[in-house]
Structure 1
């Protein structure tokens, strides 16, 4: 056996042994979805630093891969949800000048962005025992958030979140 062949065999054996010793990961990756029950657009959101997409008012969004969650649920797991809203979604849609005139577009963009609002919430991760399908984040009025890992999408009788899609902001939000 040549020295070169021996080194290749030894390298291959070490790779196989290293792969066997790693075992299963403590975390699983799942899709990250948004359901927006409020009237302000969600420009973007994240959960524990994993980014999601946007969500229209009273609509759906996200669809980003992936958020990492523990393979096995345990009590006390908290999720930090951060998001940015456009409280003037309807008005900004009506006044959008298009992209033809750069100066008008930039003025519109700067004005719209100056009113964007950032929010965050810490929410418990609900139990799951049938594996992880996705993390569905529900944005409710008054900057409230709920999450679910249910394998049934929003609207299914099996989904644990039952709030209607089109919710109105109350005159005064609870603290």
Structure 2
């Protein structure tokens, strides 16, 4: 189980030094993510990807549930009122339409979610727009305190912004 630690860094030089210190602390690069305002030079930093900066995962999950539910309801109606063979309900249509509805719902919702900024990062938007850089580092639960103390000692210019108890499995 990993925890996500948030830090706000004042500038690019501080972010690069912090990245180096995290690598020396044996935090692998795929677990270090930086977010800066549009057009910032992020050379030498592992920038956050679309899964970390948008609500695509949350939207896809919601679309999966809603689409599956709507598909199941339509499947029940189709099975009862529009049987394919004979006059008895075709209950297999419920499963088929629920799966199709879930797939379509997840796809359609993810297309919307990919263009929506992450609700987890909303509170950092003003600081990022002012030129600060957000660091998100995913560490094992047992190392959270160690990494917090290390960053605080080595980077007094950085601001600790909290720990997220449950990070998503994919981003």
Decide: shared fold, TM above 0.5: no
RCO comparison, higher one (Cα < 8 Å, 6+):
2
TM-score of the superposed pair, with normalisation by structure 2: 0.30
Greater share of strand residues, 1 or 2?
1
Q: Which structure dedicates a bigger proportion of its chain to helix?
A: 2
TM-score, normalization by structure 1: 0.29
